[in-house]
Each structure stands twice: as C-alpha cells, then as structure tokens.
Structure 1
Amino acid sequence: MDAIARSVPVGVVGAGTMGAGIAQVAAVAGHEVRVYDAAGGSAAAAVEGIFQRLAREVDKGRLLAEEAEDAATRLHAVATLEDLAGCGLVIEAVVEDLEVKRALFTGLEAVCGPDAVLATNTSSLSVDAIAESLAQPGRMAGLHFFNPAPVLPLVEVISGAHTDASVADRLVATAQAWGKTPVRAASTPGFIVNRVARPFYGEAFRLLEAGSADAATVDALLRESGGFRMGPFELADLIGHDVNLAVSRSVWEAFGRDPRFTPSVLQERLVADGRLGRKTGRGLYVTDEPRPEPSTADPVAGLPTTWTGSGGFDPSAPGWSLGTDEVSLRLTDGRTAAQHTGGGPRTVVLVDLALDYAGASRVGIAAPEHAPKEHVDAAVGFLQGLGLAVTVLPDTPGLVVARTVATLAAAAADAADSGVATAEDIDTAMRLGVNYPRGPYEWGTALGWHWVAGVLDALAAAEDPVRYRVSAQLRDRAANGEPALETAEKLPPGIVLARRAAEAMLAGDAASRTLGMTLDDVVPGAAHVSMRVRADMVNGHGICHGGLIFTLADTAFAVACNSYNRSTVAQSAEVTFLAPAREGDLLVAAAQERHRNGRSGLYDVTVYRDDTTIAEFRGRSREIPGTLVPDEEDT
C-alpha cells in the first residue's frame, strides 16, 4: 500500500503541543497542512510557533533554509471544521475525552470526502469507542505519536475492530514516508507502550511503599545495572505524576481493575499533594536540590579473594554460581536468599539481574537477614574488586532489576498472546517509545521463560497471587520452550536488508566495538546507536572527550547512510556540542535522513542523554558502486 501522496492535504485538529508537532512533521514531509482548533486564535498561534521552531532548526543547521521556507508556506491555520474538506488525512489531537472525540469525528465525517482517512492520536481511549457513531468506521484508525512528535521516531498505528486493513496499511506507509518507525497494534487498553510499561513504574512504587529501597537506589540500580536510560522515579518526575497516574488508572479501569495494573497509593498521594514532578519543582525529588545518593556499601578490603565456580562472574548464565567455602553467589530467581540458604553449610548471597554485567557499574545483592557480617562483606569485597558499586538490599523476592524485567517480559508476552501486536513490534515500540535498553519480549526469551515464570511465582507466593499470576500461555512457554519471535523474513524487506547491511558494516568497525557501541535500531534511512561513557573516555575535568561523541554520531550517520545496502561514503560532516557528557552517561545517537522529494544523502544526528541534547551533527554522503551484503532478490 502506498503512502498518502505529498500532493494530498493533511488536516490536524487540536493546536496544542502534540497537534502542532504532528502538523510540523507533516509539513516538513511535503504536505499542505491545515490546522484547526475550536479555541479562537489557537490554530494561528500554533502555526506561528511552528514557524519559530523551523527557524531554530535552520539556525542549528538541521534544516536547510529553503526546506523551512517551503514547509512554512504549506502550513495554514483555518477557522472552521469545514475548511478541512478536501484533506485526504485528518489527525485529531484534542483533549482525552471520549464524548468530545466522538462529536468531533461525527463532524469530520460530514465534512471530509468518503475516501479521506480519519485518525485519532489518543493514547488511552478505544478507537472502536471513538468510531462508534460513524457511518463508515472502517476509515478510522489510531495514529499515536509520542511527544515531541518532530523528534521521537515511534508511531503506533492502531486498528479498531472495524478499521479497514487498507487504511492501517496506508497509515503505516505514510508514517514511514514521514521518517517515522511505525508499529501495528490492536485497539486494546494502553495499546503497546502504555500497557507494557506499567510494571516499570508499578514495581518501583511497590518497593518504595514496602520500604525495600529508597527512590534514588531503585533508580540507580535500574540505570546502572539494568541499563535503562532513566529510573522509574526520575522518569515519572519528568513526565509528571498526574500524567503517569492518569495512564495507570485508565489501563486499570479498562482491564476491569485487574490487580496487575493497580495504581500506586503513594503516587496518588503525590498527585493529591501537588507534588507532580519537575513542572511543580517537587515530586519524589526536589528539582533544584542535589539528587540523593543511592545506597552503596562502604569499601571492603583484606578479605579472601579465591572464588571458584562455573564461568567466572556471569550471573546471566543458566545455573551460574560462584563461591568460597562459606559463601555462594547466585543470580536471583525470585526466591529469597533465606530460601536458597535453608539449612545448608554456606550462606547464599543473591545477585540482582543486569543487562550486561561487563558494562554494569552497580549491582544489587541480598543475603539472609541473619547472615554473618563477614559473609556479606566477602561478597561485597569480591564485587567491588570487579569495579562494581554494590548496593546491599533487604532479602526481598526478585530484588529490584529482576522483578522489574520479569514483570515487563510477562507483560510483553501477554500483549503478544492477546493479539495486541507481534513480539517484534512490541520490542520495537518499547525501545523507541520509552528507550528501553532491550525489547522486553527479547529479554524474556534470552533469560528463559522458565526464569520469568519462576520470578512471578515467587512474587505471587510472597506478595500477591493475583497480581503476579502466570498466564497459561506463559506457563506453556516455561514448560515447553519458546515460540519463535516474528522472524526477520516476516518484516518488510527494506528493514531486513537494512539490518543485514548494518550488521555487516559494524562487523568490520573495530573502533566502534572498542568503544562499546550498540546498534539499537535501524530502518532504511535511520539508525539509533548507543554508547556508555566509561572512565577512560573522560578528561581531567570528568567530561567525555568531544572526539568520542563525534565518533558515536558519525557511526550512527554511517549506519543510516548504508541502510539501503548501497556503499556510501561521507562527503562532509560537522558537529555542535551543546552539553557535557560524563562517566556513566548512556549516550544515544539518532540519525535520520532529510528527505527532499526523495533521498537527499543529508543526515541529521542528535546525540542525547535522557532529556538532554549533548550534540547535534549533520553529515552529507554520496553513493559509490557496490553493496555491503548480497541482496537476496539477486541471489
């Protein structure tokens, strides 16, 4: 299915931050865009704001002056809904109120031609419920952008029960033409991201409410051990606790108050007290005050250094253990250290999960409550000797990272089993929509679904048998093996080829491997590459060397350039540094080709950390004869 042609006008209803962002994306992509808002003057103000943002993009070198001028000429504020007649696509981005949206689409159906596609940007309401009163519900679907729409690549394309397949296909193709990465989802509560992400916040609040760990410690473990770019509490402070709680409540209510999605009482109290996060200056943290330090064990020295076991320190390996005559280290499986130790001769100290122990800077451990202090010190000293900061946690089922990852993996599996989306789309959505370090379904497969089910069983036995229940499908995975992920052959051929080309290019890039760069995602014309700033990457002032940041951006540029499997070389590149990066920061370079009536060879790269832009890079490339890998169509 072809994308909506650039010659076809696009309407946007709602001139708030999201609506204006969507209008900017469509205008830069080449469409005439008509912006309408029921509040007088709002549409004109939004268009003027877009003009200013386009000018800033030019000042930053991310947009050519003629591109900005062309986009500006295509943007129009309109005064009435009737002015949207003739639009081939109308996207709604108004208040999250079902009756307001229903009335709007009834009006749009009367105005727009029968072939026009109607789309809602709702993040939580049912597409079917919104389309209920339409005479032609088949032409309506969800097109859920993430804020800020001009920057974030993910778009969820939501099909209701009555959405025509051709309409969803056209929206997928259109999102791709606009430089976005679309994923398909069914119209179920929370769609993909808002549904699967609930445990990330829910488990953190449960740990805090139980007194198992303070906020700074939970955040530090999930960042420094789990590899997440922000911890759940700092992310909720950034989003706003009112917004985060509203999503949790919406999903909880939509699922009939399923205990898996029960909102946090503590978060409800924060909202009631006006402690909404950064926008009010105070949430779980105080914005203008130094962040509290996480719980970290004091240095331990002079203890036995002879540890034996299977495979060295690699708790991710099945059956891993390491120990002395008195202490045994094991990866947590959900059971407590006391349960593992039992009446045995050695104290079992459990190690929390990490994304990659070689790249982790912190690890959590737990020992039985009455374990001898010298046994705990021996474990702490050993781990500190590996260069890890150590957090000693209470003997809590699942510790911090393991329970979070297990519940996320279970949520992803449940979404796939319920037909919400494919496992591949779920993982893509969670990586690009909320910056997870690894797709939760892929993570569950790597850890083993028996391990995931085991952690949930332990949590069910210790805390809540309904909240942590294991579904029949997950139990089957654990017992009989993993159903295969959507295979690469089921993906669009262009994405398959882009991945193969990227893997081939990076396989020969020793410098990128030495710097620990990771390819997070690649599609034709776009790529995301990440790198953790190590101690050997900073100068005497503790700031990452600019040349290494340039190298990260250049690698993302190179991957994106070669994503069409046509050998490509750089003609020019320039970088602007905007903020310092320091040891421990996870930097992400997002590269995107600037399309101008086709491929341009001009790429923008943004290097960022959490919500801070570190550098902006622009590169120009040209193709030379040859390919990186054989095109399977030619073999």
Structure 2
Amino acid sequence: MVEHADMRKSPLNQNLIGVVGAGTMGSGIALAALLADMRVYLFDVEKEVLDKAQRYIEEHLQKKQRLLSLKYLTLTTRLEDLASAATIIEAVPEVLTLKQELFSQLDQICPEPAILATNTSTLAVTAIAAATASPHRVGGMHFFNPAAVMPLVEVVSGAQTSAHTVESLSRLAEKMGKTPVVARDTPGFIVNRVARPLYGEALRLLGEGVATHEQIDRIVEEGGGFRMGPFRLMDLIGIDINYAATQSVYEQTFGEPRYRPHLIQAQMVQQKTLGRKTGQGFYSYEERKPIPNRSAGDRPSEPTASQPGRPASKSILSGPGNWAPGIEAVCEQHGYLLHSGVRDLPIIAGMARAGRGEPVRVALLQLDQALPSHRPLLCQCADVTVAEMCTWVEHPRRLVGFDGLFFAGGNLATLVASPILDPEIKREAEELIRGLGKELIWVEDSPAMVLPRIISMLANEAAFAVGEGAAEATTIDRAMQLGANYPRGPLDWARETGYNRIVSVLDHLRSEFGEDRYRAAPLLRKWARYETLESGPHAVKEA
C-alpha cells in the first residue's frame, strides 16, 4: 500500500526527492528514483492524476520484480509535504507563468540547502529561477521520455545557478543511473535545439513536394541509420508537443529562421491530429502499427545475379571526385569495376562523383562525351541540382542524380530523375542500383535532396551551439546519441563526411532558396578552412 503524506517532515533527507507533477514525465522521474532505491514524494493537485501515476509505477515495478520499492513512494496533494526533500524536481506543463508561481511557492516551503530543479525542455531556467529569492539553488534537470528508460539528463545552469547546484544535480542524475551532460541556459538546451532541423527540414521537404512523409522516413531510417524517421518521431512525441517546442525556441531566439515552425504542423495541431495519442497523425494508428504505402519502385529488390565477392564482370566509367565516399568498395563487393579509362569489361553506366569545388561541371562534360549515349550517367547531386546539370551536357535524357554522400553507408539509395529522363535509361539505372545491393527511392529534384540536407543542417545547428557556448562538441554528440537515439553525433558525422562538403551543401541550399536559414555557422566554416589547410599543399608534413 502506498503511503500518503500526512505528517510533518524531519530535516532534509538526502535520499528523499520531491517530484511536482504526476503526469507522464513526473511519474517517470519518480519511477527512475525508486529504481535507484530513493524515497520519493510525488505531488499533484489532482488525486486522479496521482492514482493514475501510482498504477503506472506499480505496473513497471512489477515487471522489474521490484514491487517492494513501492513502499518508498508517498503520494500527496499538499505541496508542504515536500519540505524535507533534499531536491525537488518540477514536472508541470510547459507554461512559464505556472512554473514561476510554483517555484515562488517552493522557495518558501523548501528552504536552503534544498535544491530546486525544473524539468523544462525549452523554457529558460533563468526566467524560472527569477521567481525565487535564491536563484543560485535553481537549475535545470531535463529528463527524456520515458524518463525511467532514457539514459540522458541535461543539467542546465541558469544565469545565477551555483556550481554546487550543478554538481549536486549531476550527482543525483548519476545516482539515478543516468548520464548527465551540462549545458548553458540557451533556448532548447542541447537536444531540443540541435534536433530541430530533423523535423524542420523534413516538414519543408514534405511541403515542397520533394517526397512523401513515408519516403522521407525510409530514407532517414534505412539510408541514415536512424531508429525512427522524423514523421514517426513526431507522431510518437505528439505533434502538438513537438510544435510547441519549435515555437518556443523560435520565439526565444527572436525569430531565428532556422527554427521557424511549419504550416503543416500548425494545421495538424489545429485539427487535433496529434499522432499516436489521438490515433491519427502523419500515420494512422487504428491498427497496431502504421504500414507505409510503398510504390513499386520503392519495394525491396529481388536478389540479383551479382553476389558479394564475385570477380568484376561489368564496369562503370567514373570521373574524378570525392562526393561518393566508399562507392569503390560497394562496387567491388558486388562485382562491378569502377574505373576512369578504357577497360575490356563492358561499360554499363557512367558515374560523376565530383562536387562543385572539384569541379563537377568539367567532370560531367568529360563523362558525357566519353560514355555511349544509350548508357545512364549517374551524378552525385548533394550540392548541385539535376536540372542545373542538364543544362551543361549534350545528353540530358540519360542523367540520374543520386545521393553519393550517404550511398555507401545505408541500405537505401535516393535517386532523382532528369526532367526528360528516358524510360529505358531509368530502368537500367534501377537495375544498377539494385545490383549494388541497395533498395531505391525516387524523389523530386531539390537542393541537397533529403539526407544531405537534413544531416548538414543538424551538423550546422550543432556547430552553432558549440560556437555560442551552449556545450562542448563531444557533449553535444553524446547528448544526441543518448537523448535522441541518433546513430552518431552530428559533429562526428560532419567530421567523417568532411566539413568542406557540409559547408558546400549549406551554401548550395542558401543559394537556391535565398534564405539565411541555411547560412553556415562561423565555426563550421572555420573548421572547413582548417580541413583544407590540413589536406592542401600547405599542410604541415611530419619529418
């Protein structure tokens, strides 16, 4: 039986935490503390909410065979019952005035040395702390949903938060089995800030008609290695919650265009199609799992005659360039020879791998002249559109754009057709891609396609965050992996892809759209220049 608070508290109990708000996050935080063998006082103004939280906690403790921990949980509707807790964690709705009023009360009820923490995901810790007479003991302790499962906690230092408060909250997170990362009090902190381009660019791609939401999710998941694509994630989080987070960061940054909310999301909130919780979002949840509609060209391919490890039996004429890293190994693995000159093997296609700086136009022209006109010419198009390339060549009907930057690393290839693509050339291009062991999706011609656009904007946002002192680069990468389940940190991804390539993609986007949204972070551009110095003719050589 869960104890209900009805007695005066003793002096501060270091093993006791108070949790204010027994909703999804509050009950999850309480569960995480109980699993760490701590005592918990869980407060809510509504007894029904407390009863629901108790059922949730009891169910999960039972699954873990930890029902005995339930005796350490105390439910209360009296805020005063939290007076003896060493730390109080607030988890009420994301309304600044509500949080300020609550912290003003807690400041009176829970005197020093108690620490007051807010679980806010986007609101300013400094603004919340300003409602107290002791802002030095107020800090952010942002858990991720589900709080008992997700390993990351962002410990946020407000303008007047003391080092002792930050250290104490970090130790508490570790005691609860979490990995704390320390962040400055900037809009969105780390994860909710750096993650914005995943949603923002996906929504823009959908709005521009580049691809369907199912296709974008598949490209991000199967091409980029993400556990969930942006639209599945928005449905899971709640479209209203995701939209509110974007709005909050946008408003706190005085209209920074990188965070501008999208009309598609706003309209879905208005019509209350909010994702899984309402049964309808970008996907329908009337059945157990959403089943995306795949066109014939998107379906998994049948096994081909080319098997990994076979000696090369066909060849691909390739020009110079470094915008399709790892493509040689993929070709070799599946029995294709990628070469730049005449070979005895039959040439089945051409491949332009150059970027603008290499330069792509010269390489493409040479290939167009050397390759038989009835063969497809595949062109990387992360930093140039297929439409532009069509104006350079004599045979535009055989041009097929592909995402070279992320071709080798994923199971899926993204293709773009010339506006006048010959149907037979399209069939041959599809056969080649399948022969290289990839599934494929055709999308509309658009600057930076899908993955290069999303990944470059994620890396750019992370670089802005480092440059503005929100957190260290390694901290940001770790936070995105632990807090958002990214397959790797965005800055680690940028290092592997090449800072120069990321900047080139961003410059391409900015040139095509004419928007400051796509301006490269100064720090990212500086890293790209250092990269050039390290690999260029002026690189320092070891003796």
Q: Does 1:14 align with 2:15?
A: no
Q: Is 1:382 the counterpart of 2:382 in the alignment?
A: no
TM-score (norm 2): 0.80
Q: Distance in 2 between matches of 1:367 and 1:168?
A: 53
CA shift digits 1:313-368 (9 cap, x unpaired): 9922599987532544343332112334542356553322565725x322101243
The DSSP-based 3-state class of the residue aligned with 1:467 is helix
C-alpha spacing 1:480/1:318, structure 2 compared with 1 (3 Å)? farther
Following TM superposition, by how much is the alpha carbon of 1:297 offset from its aligned partner in structure 2, in angstroms? Answer: 5.8
Q: Any conservation in 2 of the 1:364–1:392 contact (CA below 8 Å)?
A: yes
Describe how 1:544-563 pairs up with structure 2 within 5 A. none
Other-structure match for 2:537: none
Decide whether the 8 Å contact of 1:237 with 1:277 is kept in 2: yes
Q: 1:30 aligns with which of 37, 41, 44?
A: 37
Contact 2:14-2:86 within 8 A present in 1 as well: no
Give the structure-1-normalised TM-score: 0.69
Tell me the equivalent position of 1:100. Answer: 98
Q: Superposed, which structure 2 residues align to 1:97-246 within 5 Å?
A: 97-246=95-244
Does 2:347 match 1:349?
no
Change (3 A) 1:400 1:242: same
Q: Is structure 2 residue 316 aligned with structure 1 residue 307?
A: yes
2:491 pairs with 1:441: yes
In 1, the alpha carbon distance for the partners of 2:236 and 2:419 equals 36
> In the alignment, is residue 463 of structure 1 matched against residue 462 of structure 2?
no
Return the match for 2:78 from 65, 77, 80. Answer: 80
Amino acid at match of 2:258: R
**1:459 and 1:468 in contact (8 A); partners too:** yes
Q: Which residue of 1 aligns with 2:293?
A: 292
Q: Could you tell me how far apart the structure 1 residues matched to 2:238 and 2:174 are? A: 30
Q: How does 1:383-462 map to 2 (within 5 A)?
A: 383-462=433-512
CA distance in structure 1 between the partners assigned to 2:505 and 2:125 by the alignment: 35
SS at match of 1:441: helix
Distance 2:488 2:383 in 1: 21
Distance 1:41 1:383 in 2: 57
Q: C-alpha distance in 1, partners of 2:236/2:49?
A: 26
Report the CA distance shift for 1:42/1:281 in structure 2 as closer, same or farther (over 3 A): closer
Contact conserved, 2:209 with 2:444, CA < 8 A, in 1? no
CA displacement, residues 430-478 of structure 1 (integer Å, 9 cap, x when unaligned): 1122211111111011111111111111111112421111232222222
Give the CA deviation at 1:39: 2.5
Query: What amino acid is aligned across from residue 461 of structure 2 in structure 1?
Result: A
Asked if structure 2 preserves the Cα contact closer than 8 Å seen for 1:144 and 1:155, the reply is yes
Instruction: Summarize the Cα distance change of 1:30–1:354 in structure 2 as closer, same or farther, 3 Å threshold.
Output: farther
CA contact under 8 A between 1:109 and 1:134: conserved in structure 2? yes
Runs (4 or more) in structure 1 with deviation over 6 Å come to 298-304, 310-314, 318-322
Q: Superposed, which structure 2 residues align to 1:453-602 within 5 Å?
A: 453-481=503-531
Native 8 Å contact 2:137 2:165 kept in 1: yes
SS at match of 1:481: helix
Letter matched to residue 237 of structure 1 = D
Change (3 A) 1:44 1:83: farther
CA distance in 1, matches of 2:116, 2:464: 29
Rounded to whole Å, the distance in 2 between the matches of 1:330 and 1:438 is 27
Matched to 1:436, the amino acid is: Y
Could you tell me how far apart the structure 1 residues matched to 2:462 and 2:295 are? Answer: 29
SS of 2:15 mapped into structure 1: coil
SS in 2 for 1:366: strand
Give me the identity figure in percent.
39
Q: Which runs of 5+ in 1 are unaligned?
A: 59-66, 485-635
Instruction: Say if 1:91 and 1:48 are closer, same or farther in 2 by CA, change over 3 A.
Output: same
**Counterpart residue type for residue 369 of structure 1:** P
- Distance of aligned partners of 1:94 and 1:482 in 2 relative to their CA distance in 1, 3 Å threshold: farther
Structure 1 partner of 2:342: none
Q: 1:297 to 1:284 in 2, by over 3 A?
A: closer
Distance change >3 Å, CA 123–CA 403, structure 1 → 2: same
Q: Does 1:68 align with 2:105?
A: no
* Aligned residue number for residue 258 of structure 1: 256
Any conservation in 2 of the 1:6–1:31 contact (CA below 8 Å)? no
Code of the aligned partner of 2:215:
T
Alignment-derived partner of residue 46 in structure 2: 39
RMSD: 3.0
* AA at the equivalent of 1:38: V
State the secondary structure of the residue aligned to 1:411: helix
C-alpha separation in 2, matches of 1:176 and 1:207: 40
1:279/1:345 CA distance change after superposition, 3 Å: same
> What CA distance in whole angstroms lies between the structure 1 residues aligned with 2:274 and 2:298?
31
2:335 equivalent to 1:335: no
8 Å contact kept, 1:316–1:331: no
CA distance in 1 between partners of 2:486 and 2:123 (Å): 24
Max Rg structure = 2
> Match for residue 569 of structure 1?
none
Q: Distance in 2 between matches of 1:468 and 1:245?
A: 20
Distance 2:101 2:45 in 1: 13
- Read off the aligned partner of 1:28 and give its amino acid letter: L
TM-superposed CA distance for 1:24, in Å, is 1.4
State whether residues 98 and 130 of structure 1, in contact with CA within 8 Å, keep that contact through their aligned partners in structure 2.
Answer: yes
1:46 shift after superposition? 2.6
Range with bigger deviation, 234-243 or 290-299: 290-299
SS of structure 2 residue aligned to 1:163: coil
SS in 1 for 2:141: strand
What residue is the counterpart of 1:565 in the other structure? none
Q: Which amino acid aligns with 1:292?
A: N
C-alpha offsets along residues 382-416 of structure 1, whole Å, 9 cap, x if unaligned? 11112211222222111111111111111111111
Residue identity matched to 2:67: A
Question: In structure 1, how many angstroms separate the alpha carbons of the residues matched to 2:486 and 2:284?
Answer: 25
1:354–1:363 contact (8 Å) kept in structure 2: no
Contact 1:335–1:397 (CA under 8 A) maintained in structure 2: yes
Q: Is the 8 A contact 2:14 2:85 kept in 1?
A: no
3-state DSSP of counterpart to 1:88: strand
